[in-house]
Structure formats: structure tokens, C-alpha cells
Amino acid sequence: MVLDGKMFRRVMSHFASGVTIVTTRCKGKPYGLTVNAFSSVSLEPPLVLVCIDKRAISHAKIIESGEFAVNILSRDQEDISDLFARPGLRQKFDNVQYDERKTGSPILDGAIGYLECRLKSVYTEGDHSVIVGKVVSLAVGGKADPLVFYQGRYCNVDLRMATIPQFSDTSETHLLYNYWSESFGW
């Protein structure tokens, strides 16, 4: 079966995600791009992954520097998301406020959370690389709603409508949920 690329994108766009900016510092210069292909991988040790297009400038820079940070965007940061999604743009950081913590990768002002990582593994698959990092420092920012990406658009979530998953007390899922919520401080 020959898979239609448009259909693949369309179906994937129905998976709502948060939006992050993945940054790095290479030879003293900051680099970064907008990424929604971000996931946690392991709790012990703490690992996360991002999938990055091999053609992105930031791809080579992350691999060269061996470090990166994942900045989780708030719903006020649509502009920054658009800015960092512009391929090949050199001056992405000119008008953006950021800070440095442990690795030197930019931590953007206004992000609702960040994770700084040391590169652990790179798996090249098709036109992207799955970049796995070990988390070395992390924090949550102020209270703000997340930026959400769905069907190629930014959207808001109404957190007043948020519900906690309901599991029976004895189910393994419930125990797992408790474990997660304690570990992650939900």
C-alpha cells in the first residue's frame, strides 16, 4: 500500500499536542526550533525524546553541542512558536528574553516549564532523528495555560473543564496513575 503523505499528516494532526521550543547553545550561539514531537520516555533514569527534521539547522547544532532544553510554551506564546518555526532564520533570539541554567541552552521567559537534557542517543529514522536526552535540570514556571496545537491550529484548553481520570481503586492503572501523580507532582 502506498501511503498518501497528506493523509498521514491529516490523521496525525488530530492528535492534540502541547508546543515546545527546543533550544541549544553551540559554540556560544543559541539555536532553537518549534517542536510538538516531544514525549517523556523513562522515569528512572529520567529520559525524554524529541523528533527533529534532519534538515533543520538546530538538528546538527543539538547533536554537536550534546545538550538541549525543551521549553513548554504557554498560550501567550503563539508568536514565539511561529518565530521559531521559520526555517533557516538566523536571528530567532534577537527579541526574545531568555536565561541560562545548567547547560547553557536558552530557557525562554514565560515558558510554563522546562527540561534541560544531555544527549543520550540519536536514532535516525526516515527524514527525522529521534533524539533522546537525559534530564539534568527542570522546573515549572508560573501558573499559565498551555499552548495547544490541533489540526494545524493553535487552540486553548479550558482548564475549568479538566477532569481527573477515574479508575477503580484496585486496578493496576489506578496504582500506576498514583505513582505518576506522586512522581510528577500532579
Ligand X SMILES: Cc1cc2nc3c(=O)[nH]c(=O)nc-3n(C[C@H](O)[C@H](O)[C@H](O)COP(=O)(O)O)c2cc1C
Positions touching ligand X (CB under 6 A) are 19, 33-37, 51-53, 56-58, 81, 84-88, 149
Please count the residues of the chain. Answer: 186
User: Nearest approach, Cβ of 75 to ligand X (angstroms)?
Assistant: 13
Nearer to ligand X, 55 or 140 (CB): 55
Nearer to ligand X, 54 or 139 (CB): 54
User: Nearest approach, Cβ of 71 to ligand X (angstroms)?
Assistant: 13
Give the integer Cα–Cα distance in Å for 137 and 116.
5
User: Nearest approach, Cβ of 17 to ligand X (angstroms)?
Assistant: 8
Identity of the amino acid at 71: N
Write out the DSSP string of 95-141: T--EE--SS---EETT-SEEEEEEEEEEEEETTEEEEEEEEEEEEE-
Greatest C-alpha distance within the chain: 54
Give the strand pairing for 47-53 and 38-42: antiparallel
User: Nearest approach, Cβ of 52 to ligand X (angstroms)?
Assistant: 4
Nearer to ligand X, 91 or 166 (CB): 91
Give the integer Cα–Cα distance in Å for 22 and 53.
12
User: Nearest approach, Cβ of 19 to ligand X (angstroms)?
Assistant: 5
Nearer to ligand X, 87 or 171 (CB): 87
Give the integer Cα–Cα distance in Å for 44 and 16.
27
Nearer to ligand X, 57 or 157 (CB): 57
